[in-house]
Structure 1
Amino acid sequence: MKALQGVEGHVEWAEYPDLTCDVGQVRIRVAAAGLNRADLLQRAGHYPPPPGASEVLGLECAGIITEVGAGVSLNIGDRVCTLLAGGGMAEEVVVDARHVLPVPEGLTLIEAAAILEVYGTVWLNLFQLAALQPGQKVLLHAGASGIGSAAIQLCKAFGNPTWVTVGSAERLAYCEQLGAQGGVVRDNGLDGLKDLGPFDVILDPVGASYAELNLQVAAQDARWVLIGVMGGRQAQLDMGLMLGKRIQLIGSTLRSRDDSFKAELLRELGQEVLPLFTEKRLNPQIARTFPIGEAEEAFAELASNQITGKVVLVIDPSLVG
């Protein structure tokens, strides 16, 4: 089979050894795969896959089941999406059947390829780790990103007002259209957040450069969930302010979690989140799609930080119509 591999800072669609489908696994013919920042980092050599995971790029994909291992209740021909530690950007993937969910009714395979990584990340960090309660206020940094787009919609669905930081007025308007209450544009300064807060939960993919601001706008007993360090790794923190506000700082990654943890996360997603797509209360936000032959262009588009929502690579056009 062919698969997309990161090689010395670029990607290659090249031959890769065929995979064996064992007990408890399914083989999926991949229609499309979502592109995430983790893929950019892996291509650059900065984010290797966890031990035992595929070196092929791709943390999520959607397609058609072509083989089922012993002990699996899924069927050949099922339309499914899956969350992966790697391997999604390939002609086919073999995955733990517990990490597979049916494509929500009404979604295309392209749309389904772009939901599990971002909605799984949001559900884990806001609703599980931060224990977000209805009515509590949420601050989303990088609000127009794939994760931000998912978080705005999920928070709206579960009764949580959200505010965002974004890179332009156009991106702020996009977030407000999705359901955000408002926010600030970085180039105009972030001090305006002090008038919008305090915030009960902060979802932060930026890190060091926003650390002082986060402490200032956090509410009493706030949860600050750190999911990335795009703005640097090291910061000075006023520990007295953190102590006085009883702020919880939670570091979180999803990719390196073990199979059982991911299985339980996906079980909850299947029960609590995926039905909202069928009800049209959630909508995948696809910024652009690219054929797999234009993977470099797709990576460049995501790296530009100029898009809103998700980028998707189409692997097999015959499956997506």
Structure 2
Amino acid sequence: MKALQGVEGRTEWLDITSPSCDVGEIRIKVAAAGLNRADLLQRAGLYPPPPGASAALGLECSGVITEVGAGSDWQVGDRVCALLAGGGMAEEVVVDARHALPVPEGVSLHEAAAIPEVYATAWLNLFQLAGLKPGERVLLHAGASGVGSAAIQLCKAFGSPCWVSVGSADQLAYCEGLGAQGGVLRGEEGPQALRDFAPFDVILDPVGGKYAALNLQLLGLDGRWVNIGLMGGRKAELDMALLLSKRVQFIGSTLRSRDDQFKADLMSDLGQQVWPLFSEGRLSPQLLKALPIKDAEAAFAELATNQVNGKLVLVIDPELS
């Protein structure tokens, strides 16, 4: 089979060995795969897959089941989307059956490829780790991103007002259209204007070092600060007295390297708590553009601009939609 791999800072559609489908696993004929910042990092050689994971790019995909290993209740022909540690940008993928969920009613396979990674990330960090409760105030940095767009919708659905920091007026309007209360534009002074909306109970931050001191100032008493990325650097100087006096919880979080049982429990929770909201129309995949796999380099370049509202996906099999 063919799969997309990162080779010396570029992508190549290469032949690789098709994996076997063992007990508790399913084989998916891939329709489309979502593109995430982790893929940019892996292509650049900065984020290798966890031990045992496919070296191919892609942390989420959608498609049709073609083989079912013993011990699974899935059926051949089921339409699914799946959370992966790697390998989604390929003609087929074998995954732990517990890491897949049915494509929500009314959602296309292309749209479904934009769901698993970002909704799992937003749900894990806001609701499971930060313990977000209805009425609590949330700040989402990079609010127009895939994770940000999922997080805005989840905050709205579960009754927590949220604000965002974004890169342009267009992105701010996009976030407000999804349900954000407001926000600010990035820039030398822009993030400081977030003080007008503070204090926040929870901050979800993929930026890291650049915003660290500001996050601490913006949080209220017993605030929770969840860091999920380092787009703004890995080091920062913090006023630890402020951390103590506010009783702030600082939570570092990654999803890709979590073990199979953790991901199975997370996907089960998503299936029960979040998936019904797609069918009800309260959540929607934020698919900006579906590009053919031959245009992978263009898709990666577009994501790298940080001007993407929502998600980009790569179409692997155009006959599946």
- Normalised by the length of structure 1, the TM-score is 0.99
Runs of 4+ in 1 over 3 A off after TM superposition: none
Structure 2 partner of 1:103: 103
Structure 1 partner of 2:281: 280
Matched, 1:260 2:261: yes
Matched, 1:314 2:315: yes
Secondary structure of the corresponding residue to residue 319 of structure 1: coil
Structure 2 partner of 1:59: 59
**How much has 1:189 moved relative to structure 2?**
1.8
Structure 2 partner of 1:270: 271
Structure 2 partner of 1:178: 178
Alpha-carbon distance in 1 for matches of 2:252, 2:43: 23
Structure 1 partner of 2:236: 235
Alpha-carbon distance in 2 for matches of 1:95, 1:83: 8
Secondary structure of the corresponding residue to residue 89 of structure 2: coil
Alpha-carbon distance in 1 for matches of 2:163, 2:18: 46
1:254-306 per-position Cα deviation (integer Å, ceiling 9, x unaligned) = 00000000000000000011111110100111111110011000100100111
1:16-35 per-position Cα deviation (integer Å, ceiling 9, x unaligned) = 10111111111000000000
Alpha-carbon distance in 1 for matches of 2:234, 2:8: 24
Structure 2 partner of 1:13: 13
Structure 1 partner of 2:35: 35
Secondary structure of the corresponding residue to residue 139 of structure 1: strand
Secondary structure of the corresponding residue to residue 160 of structure 1: coil
Indicate the RMSD between aligned Cα atoms, in angstroms: 0.6
1:51-99 per-position Cα deviation (integer Å, ceiling 9, x unaligned) = 1111010000000000001111100000000000000000000011011
Alpha-carbon distance in 1 for matches of 2:24, 2:193: 51
Structure 1 partner of 2:124: 124
Matched, 1:244 2:245: yes
The aligned amino acid for 1:283 is S
Secondary structure of the corresponding residue to residue 30 of structure 2: strand
Return 5+ residue gaps in structure 1 as ranges: none
Alpha-carbon distance in 2 for matches of 1:173, 1:95: 37
Structure 2 partner of 1:212: 213
1:201-240 per-position Cα deviation (integer Å, ceiling 9, x unaligned) = 0000000000111011101000000000000000000000
Return 5+ residue gaps in structure 2 as ranges: none
Q: Percent identity?
A: 72
Structure 1 partner of 2:226: 225
Structure 2 partner of 1:197: 198
Structure 2 partner of 1:293: 294
Alpha-carbon distance in 1 for matches of 2:299, 2:190: 30
Alpha-carbon distance in 2 for matches of 1:2, 1:185: 41
Secondary structure of the corresponding residue to residue 317 of structure 1: coil
Number of residue pairs matched by the alignment = 320
- Normalised by the length of structure 2, the TM-score is 0.99
Structure 2 partner of 1:158: 158
The aligned amino acid for 1:313 is L
Secondary structure of the corresponding residue to residue 192 of structure 1: helix
The aligned amino acid for 2:123 is W
